[in-house]
Amino acid sequence: MFGHSYYHSGFNFLTYLCCGVGIIVIILLINGFRKRGKVTLSLSKFEFKPEFADFLIIEGRKTGLWQWILTQLKLGNRYQILVNKERICYSADSAKGNTLVLTPLQKVASTGGGYTKPISMLIIAAILAGVGIILALSSATAGIISILVAVLLIVWYNFKKTFFISIQPVSGAIFGFEFKRSIIENVAVDIDLIKESISFLNEKVVEVNK
C-alpha cells in the first residue's frame, strides 16, 4: 500500500512538472517568434543636452559579451541616432559595411518612446505558482521550490525593462532603437529621460514646420 501511494505521488509530481515545463516552453517559443526580426541593443551612450547643437545622441550595440568584444575590435554592429535642430542622423556600422540615413526635421511625422516589460514572465510565474500549490499537497519541498521560482520571476519582471525610441518620417519606414541597460557600460537611462528627450525633439519638429 505504501509503495503504491509513493508511486502514485511520484507520478503526479512528474505529471504536473512536465505540464508546467511544457506550457512554459510554449510561451517562450511564442515570445521568441514575436521578437523575430527585432534587435534589442545594449545601450552604450544616451546623452540628452538641450543646450548643445547635437542635443540627443543614442548609441548601442548588439547584446552579449561576445558582441562587446567585437565592438572593442571595431568588428561588432554599432548603431547610433544623432539629433540636432536640423536633422536626424541614423547610422549602422559593422564589419560588413556602413549605413547612414539622414532625415530633415521637416520630414518627421511623429516621434515616440517608452518601455516594455516581459509579460510572459508573469504568465510563467502564475503557472509555476499554481503548479507549486498543487505539488505542495504531495511534496512540500517541490511546492516551495516552484513557488520561490515564481517569486523570482515576478521580481525579474519588475526590474527588466526594454526601452525604445521610434521616429516616423512623412514617408518611409519607422526607424529607431529598442534598447536596455548594459551591465558592462552601465549607462543610466529611465523613462523620464526618454520622455523629456522625445518631447524636446517633438518641439523642434513643430518649430521647423511652422
**CATH code, domain carrying 197:** 2.30.29
At residue 83, the pLDDT reads 92
Q: Do both 98 and 122 map to the same domain?
A: no
94 lies in the same domain as 130:
no
Q: 25 and 104: one domain?
A: no
Nearest to 82 by CA among 177, 171, 163, 162: 177
Residue that is last in its domain, among 127, 144, 159: 159
Cell of 111: 516621434
Q: Same structural domain for residues 133 and 192? A: no
**Is the domain of 202 the same as that of 142?**
no
Same domain, 68 and 106: yes
What pLDDT, on a 0 to 100 scale, did the predictor assign at position 199?
Answer: 92
Grid coordinates in use for 127?
503557472
183 and 104 within one domain = yes
Total domains present in the chain: 2
- For every one of its 210 residues, what pLDDT tens digit does the chain have, with 9 covering 90 and above? 444 444 444 445 555 555 556 555 555 554 554 444 456 788 889 999 999 989 999 998 887 777 777 777 777 788 899 999 899 998 888 778 888 888 899 988 888 889 888 888 888 888 888 887 887 777 777 778 878 888 888 888 888 888 988 888 887 777 778 888 777 778 878 889 999 999 999 999 888 887
Residue 68: its pLDDT value, please? 78
Which domain range does residue 131 map to? 2-33+118-159
The reply to whether the predicted model has a pTM over 0.75 is: no
DSSP 86: S
pLDDT of residue 2: 40
* One domain, residues 78 and 176: yes
3-state secondary structure of 42: strand
Cell triple for 75: 568588428
Helix extents (H) in the chain: 2-34, 65-72, 119-136, 140-159, 191-208
